[in-house]
Amino acid sequence: MNVYDDSRAAVRDALRLSRAMTFKAACADLPLGGGKGVIMLGPTDGPLAEERRRAVLRDFGDAVDILAGRYLTAEDVGTSMQDMTVIAESTRHVTGRPVERGGSGDPSLWTALGVESALRVACERAFGSQSLEGRSVSVVGLGHVGGDLARRLAAGGARLVVSDVDERKRALADALGATWAEPAQALVAEVDVLAPCALGGILHHDSVGALRCRAICGAANNQLASDDIADVLEARGILWVPDFVANAGGIINIQVELEPEGYSPDRADARVRAIGDTTRTVLAQAEATGTNPLAAAMELARQRLAEAGVGAAA
Ligand SMILES: NC(=O)c1ccc[n+]([C@@H]2O[C@H](COP(=O)([O-])OP(=O)(O)OC[C@H]3O[C@@H](n4cnc5c(N)ncnc54)[C@H](O)[C@@H]3O)[C@@H](O)[C@H]2O)c1
C-alpha cells in the first residue's frame, strides 16, 4: 500500500515488482512464479481512517479472490500482519497471517534473517570473513525488515549507522548504540556495507558516484533505478548483492507455509539461511564469467525457469 501520483505509476510499480518476484522465486528455487499486488493511495488521500482502511483491504481481498489462487498475497510495504487478517475475510489466498490464526506470522523477520545471511557472504567475499565483529554497516530504512536487520547486525558485533525518514525510529538507534544519520548522509556514509532497507530506486546515476561503501546488501526491492547501474557499481569496485537474491526470506518462509507437511519454523530457518549459499553461487559465477552479480543472478533465474518449462522473463 503506497502513495502514487496516478494509476499509471501504480501499474508500472506493480509490473516492476512482479518481475522482480519472478526472479526472486526462481533464484530461491521455489515452485512459485512472480506476482505483486499494489493498493494505490492518491497523493491527497493521507493515512486512511480505520473503517476506510478495512474497506480498502476487503476490496483488495475480493480482487485477489477473483484470481482463484493463481495469485497469493502477503504483507509488504505499507501493510501489516493485522491487515492480512482483514484481507482474509474476503479471500483464503492470503499468506503470512498471525500464527494463532494458522499463518506463519510476520515474514519481515525471515526477510531480515535472509539479508543477514547474504550480507555475511558479501563480507566473506569482500573482506575474507563472514564475521560482523567490527564491520561497519549503514542501514537505510528502519521498518519491519531494516529494524530487525539492525538488531541482528548489532548482536553480531557490527558498528551501525542507521537512518529513517521517521524520526520516531531514533529510539531504536539509541537502544542499539547506533549512530543516527539523515537518509541522504546514511546512503553515502563511509562504511564497509550499505544496507538499503527502505523503498527502491535508491541506486541511480546521480547517487552511485558518491557511495563510499565496499559492498551493498539490503532488503529493498528494485534498488537499481536501471539494470546498467550494476555495471557502474562493478566498475567502482562495489560488490552488490542482487536485491531479489538477498530479500527472498519472506517468500521462502511463505513457501514453507504452503507445503503439505504444514508450517515448521525449523524448516523455514534452514531454507532462509540457504540464501547465503545462493549468494555465494551468484557472486562466484559473476566473478568466473566476468559479468556483474545482476547478470549472474538473472542467468541463474532464467536457467531455473527454462528447466521448469516457463518462458524467461525479459
Ligand atoms: N517485509 C518483507 O518481508 C519484505 C520482503 C522482501 C522485500 N521487502 C522490501 O524491503 C523494503 C522494506 O520493507 P519493510 O517491510 O521493512 O517496509 P516498512 O514500510 O516496514 O519499512 C520501510 C521503512 O523505510 C522508511 N523510509 C521510507 N522512505 C525512506 C527514505 N527515503 N529514507 C530512509 N527511510 C525511509 C519508512 O519510514 C519505514 O520505516 C521494501 O523495499 C520492501 O519491498 C520487504
State pLDDT tens for residues 170-203: 999 999 999 999 999 999 999 999 999 998 889 9
The span from the CA of 286 to the CA of 309, in Å, is 25
Same domain for 139 and 198, yes or no, is: yes
* 161 and 299 co-located in one domain: yes
Q: What is the pLDDT of residue 73?
A: 94
- Provide the CATH number for the domain around residue 302: 3.40.50.720
147 and 121 inside one domain: yes
Ligand 1 pocket test target in 77, 79, 117, 161 with most atoms within 8 Å of CB: 77
Are both 133 and 57 inside the same structural domain?
Answer: no
Ligand 1 centroid – CA 143 distance (Å): 5
What's the average model confidence in pLDDT over 98-102? 77
Same domain membership, residue 139 and residue 95: no
Residue where a domain stops, chosen among 48, 82, 101: 101
Distance between Cα 134 and ligand 1 center (Å): 25
Distance between CA 274 and CA 132 in Å, rounded? 18
Query: Do 221 and 127 have their domain in common?
Result: yes
pLDDT of residue 312: 55
Question: pTM of the full predicted structure?
Answer: 0.92
- Residue 141: pLDDT over 90: yes
Helix residue ranges per DSSP H, 180-274 = 183-187, 205-208, 229-235, 243-246, 249-258, 265-273
Asked whether residue 186 falls in the same domain as residue 280, the answer is yes
**pLDDT-derived band at 101, boundaries 50, 70, 90:** confident
Tell me the three cell numbers of residue 229: 547501474
Ligand 1 contacts CB of residue 13 (under 6 A): no
- Does 140 sit in the ligand 1 pocket, CB within 6 Å? yes
**CB of 83 shorter than 6 A to ligand 1:** no
Is there a single domain that holds both residue 144 and residue 192? yes
Quick: pLDDT tens for 102-122: 778 888 999 999 999 999 999
Q: What is the CATH number of the domain that holds 7?
A: 3.40.50.10860
Same domain, 58 and 93: yes
In terms of domains, do 249 and 165 share one?
Answer: yes
- Nearest-CA residue for ligand 1 atom 25 is 141
Hey, which residues are catalytic here? Answer: 36
Compute the distance between CA of residue 306 and CA of residue 258 in angstroms, rounded to an integer: 23
Distance 294 CA to ligand 1 centre (A): 21
Residue 103 pLDDT: 77
- The parent domain of residue 32 ranges over 2-101
- Give 259 or 215, the one with higher predicted confidence: 215
pLDDT on residue 311: 66
* Average pLDDT estimate for 120-136: 98
Number of domains observed in the structure of the chain:
2
Q: Same domain, yes or no, for 90 and 116?
A: no
Is the pLDDT at 314 greater than 70? The verdict is no
Does ligand 1 have an atom closer than 6 angstroms to the CB of 279? no
Residue 141, phi-psi category: left (phi > 0), alpha (psi -120 to 50), beta (remainder): left
Whether the pLDDT of residue 157 is over 80: the answer is yes
Identify whether the C-beta of residue 192 lies closer than 8 Å to the C-beta of residue 123.
yes
Rounded Cα distance, 36 and 98, in Å: 21
Do 140 and 78 lie in one domain? The reply is no
Cell, residue 127: 573482506
Q: Looking at 50, 85, 101, which one is the last position of a domain?
A: 101
C-alpha cell read off for 309: 518449462
Q: What percent of the chain clears pLDDT 90, i.e. is strictly above it?
A: 84
Looking at 53, 83, 101, the residue that finishes a domain is: 101
CA 140 to chain CA centroid, nearest Å: 13
Q: Which residue has the higher pLDDT, 81 or 23?
A: 23
